[in-house]
């Protein structure tokens, strides 16, 4: 089943769309959005550390090599990045 219209500009995976947009978009905007994601990751890691969950976090990272739920989360992040970049470049 193809969920994309043949005329849809965003054909492909969220990851491939992000990298395609990131290569052609304003690099200042791309860098700012990537930095925001790293900041979110740092905040999440700090919260887990404060709750004494850093070992569980590291274990989950190692165990989620193939996990559809995590893959969906990663795709959501790529989609969010593309949306943030595209809206600022208009």
Averaged pLDDT, 80-89: 94
pLDDT digits (tens, 9 = 90+) for 41-75: 999 999 999 999 988 888 877 776 677 888 899 99
What's the whole-model pTM score? 0.75
| The pLDDT of residue 83 is above 50 | yes
Predicted pLDDT at 57: 83
Domains, the chain, ranges and CATH? 14-89 (1.10.3350.10)
Looking at residue 14, its pLDDT comes to 96
pLDDT tier at 4, thresholds 50, 70, 90 = very low
Q: How far apart are CA 45 and CA 88, in angstroms?
A: 28
Cα distances (angstroms) measured from residue 57 to each of 1, 47, 77: 35, 11, 19
């Amino acid at each position: 089943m193809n969920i994309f219209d043949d005329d849809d500009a965003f054909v492909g995976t969220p990851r491939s769309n992000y990298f395609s947009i990131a290569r052609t978009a304003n690099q200042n905007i791309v860098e700012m959005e990537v930095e925001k994601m790293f900041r979110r990751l740092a905040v999440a890691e700090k919260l887990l550390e404060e709750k004494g969950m850093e070992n569980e976090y590291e274990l989950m990272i190692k165990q989620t090599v193939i996990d559809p739920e995590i893959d969906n989360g990663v795709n959501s992040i790529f989609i969010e990045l593309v949306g943030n970049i595209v809206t600022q470049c208009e």
